């Protein structure tokens, strides 16, 4: 994301560029901010690796083409629903360790195509950099209408396309360079149309040149179990849930549950439930209207031993609960005074 270091600008500066291109960026310091990576989509985030999340999010547009870019330094798991009316092209620009996207092992240069309104489940270990382009059906028709296979996005969305050396050494740097110049050069309507088409061509290069990857990730049955567990947890967001309750609700054994979680997420269900509960505490501590004590919040989410809770919290987020609350308070006050 080095090419994105200089992208910050105010709304007034964006207006001065004209209506054909704009970009805004901000630094992130909490996993909750990663819920806003793609404008118009819904996602939930669970932090899976220990430490303080650091990174950056940039939202850009060229004409009506939406481009979202993010980088982050620690492992997370994302799940949710993609944009309701646009086709998403998710290019993995860099990966700290390894990534798993919709049952595919994903490497830098690979592209995952998301159909409108589809569910997704992705994991990134060691951090990652992503470039996500959200195109309309008209964009695809205009760019590939003369080509039978490419002109029908339903024939290739929902699939994963492997990159090659050109994608890593050529396409990714070109995309980052283009985004890095959006705040330097005001674009005419004609220039914006050209760069919009260039952006679409860059993220679809793997699709034009190759064939879909074979699924080499978790079995769909394991992902289904995890999804059912999360749906059950989401139906009871304000209370802790015991592993025995999940097994009874889903009519499965603990052994089956453990096997599904290790297959789908790489961690056991008990560890994952703890991560979710810690993330819920983190979000509550940052909430302005939540005036409960830290011990009351911890108890509400199933942590009785406050010393052990503080240790778990510090291991996951790289800070203690009191620091999270204090930083959120200072951030709100500084925002109100600026």
The pLDDT of residue 324 is above 60? yes
How large is the average pLDDT for residues 16-26? 69
CA distance 260 to 256: 6
**Cβ–Cβ < 8 Å for 232, 252:** no
Both structure tokens of 187: 């674009």
For residue 155, being part of any structural domain is answered with yes
pLDDT tens sequence across 242-287: 888 888 888 888 888 999 998 888 889 989 989 988 998 999 998 8
The pLDDT of residue 316 is above 80? yes
**Cβ–Cβ < 8 Å for 40, 83:** yes
* Domain C-terminal end among 209, 237, 256: 209
**Cβ–Cβ < 8 Å for 47, 313:** no
Give the side-chain half-sphere CA count within 13 A for 317: 29
The structure tokens 């289904």 sit at 224
**Cβ–Cβ < 8 Å for 115, 157:** yes
Mean model confidence pLDDT for the chain:
82
CA distance 52 to 314: 9
* Domain C-terminal end among 178, 209, 240: 209
The pLDDT of residue 171 is above 80? no
For residue 283, being part of any structural domain is answered with yes
Q: Is residue 200 located within the same domain as residue 318? A: no
Both structure tokens of 166: 């050109």
**Cβ–Cβ < 8 Å for 73, 55:** yes
Residue 334 — pLDDT band, cuts 50, 70, 90? low
For residue 215, being part of any structural domain is answered with no
Q: Is residue 147 located within the same domain as residue 42? A: yes
DSSP characters over 290-333: ----HHHHHHHTT---HHHHHHHHHHHHSS-HHHHHHHHHHHHH
DSSP characters over 108-131: TT-EEEE-TT-EEEEEESS-EEEE
The pLDDT of residue 103 is above 60? yes
Number of domains in the chain: 2
Range of 51-55, 80-84, 231-235 with top mean pLDDT: 51-55
Give the side-chain half-sphere CA count within 13 A for 236: 15
Using CA atoms of 237, 243, 248, 251 in order, give the dihedral in degrees to the nearest 10.
100
Residues 6+ apart with CB under 8 A from 131: 67, 68, 69, 90, 91, 93, 172, 175, 176, 179, 203
Closest CA to 129 of 150, 110, 153: 110
For residue 214, being part of any structural domain is answered with no
For residue 65, being part of any structural domain is answered with yes
What integer pLDDT is reported at residue 285 of this predicted model? 92
Residue 72 — pLDDT band, cuts 50, 70, 90? very high
Provide the 3-class DSSP secondary structure of residue 73: coil
We report the CATH number of the domain holding residue 161 as 2.60.120.10
The structure tokens 């674009």 sit at 187
3-state secondary structure 11-64: HHHHHHCCCCEEEEEEEECCHHHHHHCCCCCEEEEEECCCCCCCEEEEEEEECC
* Domain C-terminal end among 158, 176, 209: 209
The pLDDT of residue 167 is above 80? no
Q: Is residue 183 located within the same domain as residue 288? A: no
Q: For residue 160, what are the β-bridge partners?
A: 112
Q: Which domain holds residue 288?
A: 220-337
Q: Is residue 80 located within the same domain as residue 124? A: yes
Q: Is residue 225 located within the same domain as residue 200? A: no
Q: Is residue 189 located within the same domain as residue 227? A: no
Closest CA to 41 of 70, 90, 83: 83
We report the CATH number of the domain holding residue 238 as 1.10.10.60
Q: Is residue 263 located within the same domain as residue 309? A: yes
Cβ atoms < 10 Å from Cβ of 309: 23
Give the side-chain half-sphere CA count within 13 A for 336: 7
């Amino acid at each position: 994301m080095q090419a994105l270091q200089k992208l910050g600008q105010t709304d007034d500066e964006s207006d001065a560029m004209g209506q054909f291109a704009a970009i805004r960026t901000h630094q992130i310091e909490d996993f909750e901010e990663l819920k806003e990576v793609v404008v118009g989509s819904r996602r939930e985030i669970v932090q899976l690796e220990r430490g303080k999340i650091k990174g950056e999010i940039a939202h850009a547009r060229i004409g009506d083409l939406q481009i979202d870019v993010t980088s982050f330094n620690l492992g997370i798991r994302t799940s949710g629903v993609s944009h309701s009316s646009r086709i998403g092209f998710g290019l993995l620009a860099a990966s700290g360790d390894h990534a798993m996207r919709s049952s595919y092992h994903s490497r830098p240069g690979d592209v995952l195509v998301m159909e409108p309104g589809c569910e997704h489940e992705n994991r990134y270990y060691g951090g990652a950099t992503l470039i996500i382009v959200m195109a309309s059906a008209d964009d695809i028709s205009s760019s590939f209408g003369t080509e039978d296979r490419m002109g029908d996005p339903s024939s290739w969305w929902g699939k994963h396309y492997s990159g090659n050396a050109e994608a890593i050494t050529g396409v990714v740097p070109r995309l980052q360079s283009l985004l890095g110049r959006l705040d330097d050069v005001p674009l005419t309507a004609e220039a914006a149309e050209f760069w919009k088409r260039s952006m679409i061509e860059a993220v679809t290069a793997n699709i034009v040149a190759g064939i879909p990857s074979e699924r080499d990730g978790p079995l769909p049955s394991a992902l289904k179990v995890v999804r059912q567990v999360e749906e059950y947890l989401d139906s009871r967001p304000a209370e802790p849930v015991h592993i025995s309750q999940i097994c009874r609700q889903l009519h499965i054994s603990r052994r089956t549950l453990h096997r599904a979680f290790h297959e789908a997420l790489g961690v056991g269900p008990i560890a994952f439930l703890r991560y979710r509960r810690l993330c819920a505490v983190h979000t509550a501590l940052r909430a302005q209207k939540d005036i409960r004590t830290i011990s009351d919040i911890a108890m509400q989410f199933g942590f009785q031993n406050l010393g052990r809770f503080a240790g778990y919290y510090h291991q996951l987020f790289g800070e203690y609960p009191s620091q999270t609350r204090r930083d959120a308070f200072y951030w709100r006050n500084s925002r109100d005074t600026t």
